[in-house]
Each structure stands twice: as structure tokens, then as C-alpha cells.
DNA sequence: GTCTATAAGAAGATAGAC
DNA sequence: GTCTATCTTCTTATAGAC
């Protein structure tokens, strides 16, 4: 990893733990293994480092959104995968999804950083809501919509069903970000949540 | 309001908007209408102001918990109130509860401040989880437990039913804290959420 | 309790050698 | 691109008069 990228990486780690204002340019430089003034050869100032982190996430998001065709045209394929879905398989998928977003270093650090900085300005608020509110509801909603059409799920309000699936997951994710020791407790709750969700909205056997 | 209290009040406003590190002692003093050095006659330093805010909330919480007998011994009384509950009345109650916590100035500012500072240390993380995760689940869980016994609600897992009620409300509250313009959208979603919740868990007429 | 003046120390950023 | 030296500004906090 080159220095320019390593700066972003170490800055993200620090920002996610202490917040932008509590991280000093010297702290970032220390972790990169250079002195603070050297850092200014790579970024104009401290704010430019923060901005580059946001830009990178926006870039990754766009790429992923394109790969998933989030506009809905192809969520039908995913729904097909779930067509013959047992409760056990549903649990496995939910657990994998949850643990990926919880443990993936990049996602975890970025989410925590945005949690701290979300009130700093409107743009950051929008990024937070896009990533953790609207995109998940939109993508899972599209998927559940197809599953409802296929009769795998039963509802007359896909939007609320999606909220009932995702809001508890979001809730548990924020608990684990704040208190990592509660991961076991939350995983148990996650299982019960998905089982109950399946009982409520799942196809009756 | 005396100066000592006004300092806490103005500090809370600023901390909730910018976070502790971005608020300067002079900013607080300005809003109180005194000069920064005068502030040190009331509080030892900046941290002591923050600590006093946390202490005050802990105090209020203890008082409220005692008043509600959160240990469960008396949630039966509340459940009685809900005994003859129509869907419209349930909507009204949910909406009132949501709007109170969203708009009440003290609650709103404190919640936003803790959101920003939750990762700063373990104690703050615990306060956050106590106020916005465990206490609501515990109190609403006790209430729903009694409602289940009375047959007003139907479930074989009160804990998950409570999560299914509260997590979406928590979710919508965080959206409104971050983007107040979305309040209308969230209130509409709240209504649909409660209607659906009632359809799932409510007594069949 | 409030003020002015000021000390003491960070922290961000630049200059210029190598 | 990295360093040392340094500048500048900001911020907390204290001293001491009123």
C-alpha cells in the first residue's frame, strides 16, 4: 500500500475511534511512520484527508450499486436464489450478512466515523442516511418485493415488511459498534428475530 | 435559571450540535452572556461541565425509573390502561410517544450529544445503551408482557415482539435527529408500522 | 461573580535543506 | 518525499483587580 493510501487507512482508524476533531495530524503521521509535515505532500490539509475518505466510500458505493443493479431491474435473480428457502438457510444468510457488515474493517470503521460526524453538516447526514437507511431499505425492499410476488413471503405492505426486517438488524449493529462485548447476545437475538420474521411473513408450509 | 444551570443548558445545546471537542469554553460563555474566565467560578474546567450534564441525565433517569417502577412490579397498571385498545388509540399513543422524545428539547439534545460521544469511552457507551436500548426494551417489554397475559397481544416471544415494536421506532428517531426534514415521511411510516404491528400481534377481533 | 490581561501549551501548516 | 525548525493561531486555564 502506498503512502497516500496508508494515510487514508490510518486516518480512518483514528477518526472512527476518536472523531475528526480529536485526531491530530501528528497522530496520523505517527501511525503511517512519517512526520506530520511530510503528510502535507500528499494532502493539502487535514480536511482533505477526511474528504478523500468520504469520496472513496462514495466511489465504492457507486461501484457496488452498479454491480447489484440497485435500480431493481435485476433483483429478480436474487429472489430466485431464495425461492426454495428453509428457515435454517434464511438464518445462515442473515447471520452472514450481519457479521460481514459488523466485522469488515472498512465498513465498520467508516460507519463509526460517520456516526460521530453525521451532525457536522448536511452532506454527511445525507451520506449516512444513504448508506445505512435508504440503500438497505431500497435493496432489500426490491428483493422482498420479488419474494412476495413469488409467494415466498406474504404481505400487503412490502415497505413495512422490509422495515420490520431491517430496523432490528440496524439496531443490533449499532449496539455491537458501541459495545463489542454484546455481540454474542445480539447474534442470539438476531436468530430469534429472523425466526420470528419468517413465522410472520414466511410462506406457510 | 441561575448561571450555573444556564451554563449546562447552553453547553448541552452546543455539544449536541458540534460535539464536545468542537465547542470552546468561550462559545459557551458567549451564549450564557459572560466571559470565559467567569465560567471557571462555576465549573472547574470544560470536562466538569460535560460530566455535570451526564450526571443530571442520570439523576433524571433514576427519578423517572422510580416513578415508573421499571422493575416490573407495577407495569400491570399500565397494561390495564391499554386493555380496551383500538387501533386508532394505539396509533395516537405511539405518535405521542415518538413526538415527545423527538421534540422534547432536553431529550433531543442529550441524545444527539451521546450519539456523537458514545465511542469516547466505555461509560458513555453504557449510558447510551441504558437510555436508548435496554431501558426502552425493558419497560416496553414488561408492558407488552402484561398485555400478552391479558390477551391484548398474542405472541410466544415477548422479547422479540418488543424488539419488533421498538427497533423501527428507534430507527425513525435517528433518521429525524439527523435529517429533521424527514419527520413527515417518518410519521407516515410510523403509522404504517404500528398498524402492521397491531395486525401481526394484536388480538384478532 | 464578573471582568481584563496573560500565561502555557496545543495543533495546523509552511519554509527550506536533503 | 521526508526531514527539522519554526510560525501562527487558537484554546484552555489562571492571576488578580473590582
| pLDDT number for residue B85 | 77
Q: What is the CA radius of gyration of chain B?
A: 20
- B72 pLDDT band, cuts 50/70/90, is low
**How many beta carbons lie within 10 A of that of residue B89, not counting itself?**
12
Show me where the domains of chain A are located: 1-51, 68-200
Q: What is the pLDDT of residues A45-101, one digit of tens each?
A: 999 999 999 999 999 999 999 888 655 556 667 767 777 778 888 899 899 999 999
Interatomic CA–C1' length for residue B11 and nucleotide C7, angstroms: 26
Question: Are the Cβ atoms of A125 and B21 closer than 8 angstroms?
Answer: no
B167 to chain A nearest CA, in Å? Answer: 5
Question: Are the Cβ atoms of B133 and A168 closer than 8 angstroms?
Answer: no
Nearest nucleotide, CA B34 to C1': C2
Buried/exposed A8-45: b ≥16 CB within 10 Å, e otherwise: bbbbbbbbbebbbbbbebeebbeebebeeeebeebbee
Q: Report the predicted TM-score, pTM, of the whole model to 2 decimal places.
A: 0.96
What rounded mean pLDDT belongs to chain B?
Answer: 93
| pLDDT number for residue A87 | 86
Residues from chain A that touch B163, judged by Cβ atoms under 8 A, are 168, 171, 189, 193
Report d(CA A80, CA A94) in Å as an integer: 17
Q: Are B104 and B60 in contact (CB under 8 A)?
A: no
Q: Which residues contact B180 (CB under 8 A, 6 or more apart)?
A: none
Interatomic CA–C1' length for residue A105 and nucleotide C15, angstroms: 38
A:B CB pairs within 8 Å: 102
The answer on pLDDT for B48 being more than 80 is: yes
Identify the CA nearest to A140 among candidates A122, A163, A118, A156. Answer: A163
Closest residue, by C-alpha, to the C1' of C5: B37
Report d(CA B1, CA B6) in Å as an integer: 6
| pLDDT number for residue B81 | 73
Q: What is the pLDDT of residues A113-141, one digit of tens each?
A: 999 999 999 999 999 999 999 999 999 99
Name the H helices within chain B: 3-18, 25-32, 36-39, 46-68, 75-81, 87-103, 105-117, 122-129, 135-149, 158-178, 183-201
Residues from chain B that touch A196, judged by Cβ atoms under 8 A, are 157, 160-161, 164
CATH topology of domain A1-51: Arc Repressor Mutant, subunit A (1.10.10)
**How many beta carbons lie within 10 A of that of residue A91, not counting itself?**
17
Q: What is the CA radius of gyration of chain A?
A: 20
Residues 36-55 of B with CB under 7 A from strand D: 36-37, 40, 44-47
> How does DSSP classify residue B54?
H
> How does DSSP classify residue A204?
P
- B205 pLDDT band, cuts 50/70/90, is low
Which residue is listed with cell 461509560? B123
Amino acid at each position: 500500500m502506498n503512502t497516500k493510501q496508508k494515510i487514508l487507512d490510518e486516518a480512518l482508524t483514528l477518526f472512527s475511534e476518536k472523531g475528526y476533531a480529536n485526531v491530530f495530524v501528528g497522530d496520523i503521521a505517527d501511525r503511517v511512520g512519517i512526520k506530520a509535515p511530510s503528510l502535507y505532500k500528499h494532502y493539502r490539509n487535514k480536511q482533505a484527508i477526511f474528504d478523500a475518505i468520504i469520496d472513496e466510500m462514495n466511489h465504492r458505493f457507486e461501484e457496488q450499486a452498479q454491480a447489484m443493479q440497485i435500480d431493481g431491474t435485476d433483483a429478480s435473480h436474487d429472489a430466485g436464489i431464495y425461492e426454495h428457502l428453509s428457515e435454517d438457510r434464511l438464518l445462515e444468510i442473515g447471520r452472514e450478512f450481519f457479521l460481514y457488515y459488523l466485522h469488515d474493517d472498512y465498513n465498520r470503521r467508516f460507519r463509526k466515523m460517520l456516526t460521530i460526524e453525521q451532525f457536522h453538516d448536511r452532506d454527511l447526514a445525507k451520506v449516512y442516511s444513504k448508506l445505512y437507511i435508504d440503500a438497505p431499505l431500497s435493496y432489500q425492499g426490491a428483493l422482498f418485493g420479488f419474494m412476495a410476488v413469488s409467494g415466498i413471503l406474504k404481505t400487503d405492505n412490502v415497505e413495512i415488511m422490509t422495515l420490520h426486517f431491517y430496523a432490528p438488524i440496524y439496531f443490533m449493529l449499532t449496539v455491537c459498534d458501541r459495545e463489542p462485548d454484546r455481540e454474542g447476545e445480539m447474534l442470539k437475538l438476531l436468530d430469534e428475530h429472523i425466526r420470528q420474521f419468517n413465522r410472520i411473513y414466511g410462506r406457510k408450509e
